[in-house]
Amino acid sequence: MNRFDVDAIAFDFDGTLVDTVGDLAHAMNATLADDGCAPLARETIRDLVGRGIPHLARRAYALSRGDAPGDAELEAIVARYFAHYAATLGERSTPYPGVVEGLGRLRAAGFPLAVVTNKASRFVQPHLDRTAFAGWFDAIVGGDDAGAKKPDAAPLALAAVRLGVDVRRVLMVGDSGNDVACARAAGAPVVVVPYGYREGRAVQDLAADAIVDSLDELPERVAVRRTPDSR
């Protein structure tokens, strides 16, 4: 079993820490309804998630009404989607099993923790505030913060700066190819979970350094380097 010798750990949000597909599906179906389009099943929308809201909206409309929106229409659709999303943010989301336990053990071991997500920055902290681990992160990098989104290295690099560590010694934990590519671009190790949102892609095909079934397994996969503290 690989143990990662790292100084900090960064987590993707949607699909890694929290199952947010309920929120995403509700907002997408409300947006479709605005245009008189038929709703999509939650599991159908789950398979569309993973490459950002414009991509989700384009594919959802293609499935629901038979054709994808053009760029101008898509911009208006995304704006309406975000209005619906903000109105009920977090009401239909739940942490995955083992997340609270795993994060708690990592904090107790003294590891600085970060969230690195492509979610629009204005939604990240309000969504975190609805969880049991809202105040457990030492750095939060949203999709608007770094000048580029994952799979670019910039978000993880910014998290490392905010944590005061070398980005190559930050373990990235995610659920998608974007997370793996971001870590690779930054020269950092990466672990993935088998759940989450990958547009149907097999987790083994992501070529991460390791797969953990639950974040409660993660403390056993990192080398103990720090003295527990009371943060």
Three-class secondary structure of residue 105 per DSSP: helix
Exposure letters 197-230 (e unless 16+ CB within 10 A, then b): bbeeeeeeebebbbebeebbbbbebbeeeeeeee
| Pick from 52, 21, 70, 7: nearest CA to 148 | 52
| Pick from 50, 58, 51, 63: nearest CA to 78 | 58
Three-class secondary structure of residue 42 per DSSP: helix
Tokens of 149: 């989104």
What gap in Å lies between CA 220 and CA 202, rounded to an integer?
Answer: 24
Contact present, 159 and 186 (Cβ < 8 Å): no
Tokens of 75: 């911009």
Q: Choosing from 7, 12, 19, 175, which is the catalytic residue?
A: 12
- Supply the Cα-derived Rg of the chain in whole angstroms: 18
Three-class secondary structure of residue 94 per DSSP: strand
**Quick check: is 12 catalytic?**
yes
Backbone angles phi, psi at 28, to 5 degrees: -70, -40
Active site residue ranges? 12
